[in-house]
Amino acid sequence: MATLTLTQITKRFGDHPVLHGIDLDIAEGEFVVFVGPSGCGKSTLLRLICGLDEISTGTLQIDGEVVNDVPPAKRGIAMVFQSYALYPHMSVADNMGYALRLAGASRADITARVTQAAEVLRLTPLLDRKPRQLSGGQRQRVAIGRAIVREPRIFLFDEPLSNLDAALRVDMRGEIARLKARLGTTMIYVTHDQTEAMTLADKIVVMNAGRVEQVGSPLDLYRRPANRFVAGFIGSPRMNILQPTLFEATAVPAGAALIGVRAEDLSLVDAGGFVGTVALVEHLGSDVFAHVEVAGAELPVIVRLPGDAHLARGATVRLAAAPADLHAFNEAGARIDTTQPDRRAA
Ligand SMILES: Nc1ncnc2c1ncn2[C@@H]1O[C@H](COP(=O)(O)OP(=O)(O)O)[C@@H](O)[C@H]1O
Ligand SMILES: [Mg+2]
């Protein structure tokens, strides 16, 4: 287990700056998830942390020691990638133990560590198989097993499940959660998947264009996004962004340029609220998502209704939300904190 401290880390490739001063503290045993749009620098940051790429400026500390110039093999970090190249001619056990064999570990030590990792990952019955005799999820577990046997201080995962189909992803998500509970090792995990981020993370780091937009617990980010970007990025369906004029003036804080409201915080009302036209009704079984076209909203407003709600396409509806459920953002996109008036932006 280890702590990690990133201080003003930048990275440029030639003239092309990719990371613009990343500050981040990761505690011992913490499970941290990096999310952000494609190309925002998540993989680059992982590569800097494990030493596959060189940091341009700034410092990286592991357990308080600056490791900028420490070679990857000496950092005690193991990385699991999206595409995992297993050796096709080797058994599962040999694939898992290969790095240890290269490092000169004894046969007994290799066997002990592989046996234990296989047990953690429920691979014990598969140890004699070849990779081609495994499912996609099993192969990814072997790839994780290869990392575990090295007993790293820190695990890095770069979208490890994105090659798997939806059902397998759910199973593997459970597997990773078990791993986290069982090993307690510090982990950094990159994903595109909202559910993975929300369910696995102790802490989510939202990145955008080489910067950190916000760091917080999943519920912090969901309930109190610091700015419009985070509001739009965290949560599925996305947060609705609306003109303040659609709401009662008394419900809108001074300086609000846009109002965010989540699908579950909107409801159908008989009077008051604002008017829209139902453009699409999605029945998900447990919920209904209605997409409502509203003048003053760029995108259709998404409303979550109970699974038995009946709503016809083309119907005119009235929508409203409680004032406490409104998220206000100023012209620059920053959250206006209505509970702390002195921190309001002008
Ligand atoms: N070796 C490289 N040389 C030049 N540019 C790179 C290199 N690696 C990544 N980049 C650029 O850095 C940016 C961030 O990439 P990446 O970290 O892979 O993003 P993400 O993982 O968030 O999708 C992208 O614009 C990408 O083109
Ligand atoms: Mg990437």
Q: How far apart are CA 64 and CA 3, in angstroms?
A: 7
Q: Where are the domains of the chain?
A: 4-223, 237-343
Question: Across residues 303-311, what is the average pLDDT?
Answer: 94
Looking at the DSSP assignment, which residues form a beta bridge with residue 207? 212
Give the pLDDT confidence score for residue 121 in this predicted structure. Answer: 86
339 pLDDT band, cuts 50/70/90, is: low
Residue 284 identity (one-letter amino acid): L
Give the pLDDT confidence score for residue 299 in this predicted structure. Answer: 93
152 pLDDT band, cuts 50/70/90, is: very high
* Position 13 pLDDT exceeds 50: yes
Tokens 């409104």, residue located: 326
Angle between helices 107-120 and 136-148 (to 10 degrees): 130
Q: Say which ligand is closest to the CA of 41.
A: 1
Question: Across residues 167-192, what is the average pLDDT?
Answer: 89
Task: Give the binding-site residues of ligand 1, using a 6 Å CB cut-off.
Answer: 13, 16, 18, 36, 38-44
Q: Read off the tokens for 99.
A: 């790095």
128 close to 92: Cβ distance less than 8 angstroms: yes
* Average model confidence (pLDDT) across the chain: 93
Question: Across residues 158-173, what is the average pLDDT?
Answer: 86
Distance 54 CA to ligand 2 centre (A): 17
Nearest CA to ligand 1 atom 1: 13
Give the pLDDT confidence score for residue 193 in this predicted structure. Answer: 87
18 pLDDT band, cuts 50/70/90, is: very high
Distance 44 CA to ligand 1 centre (A): 6
What are the tens digits of pLDDT across the range 186-242?
999 999 888 899 999 999 999 999 999 999 999 999 999 999 999 999 998 999 999
Residues around ion ligand 2, judged by CB within 5 A, are: 43
Q: Say which ligand is closest to the CA of 40.
A: 1
Percent of the chain with pLDDT over 70: 98
* Position 343 pLDDT exceeds 70: no
Nearest CA to ligand 1 atom 25: 39
Supply the pTM of this predicted model. Answer: 0.91
* Position 345 pLDDT exceeds 80: no
Assigned CATH topology for domain 4-223: Rossmann fold (3.40.50)
Residue 222 CA, chain-centre distance (Å), reads: 12
Q: How far apart are CA 155 and CA 304, in angstroms?
A: 37
What are the tens digits of pLDDT across the range 22-81?
999 999 999 999 999 999 999 999 999 999 999 999 999 999 999 999 999 899 999 988
Is the CATH code 2.160.10.10 the one for domain 237-343? no
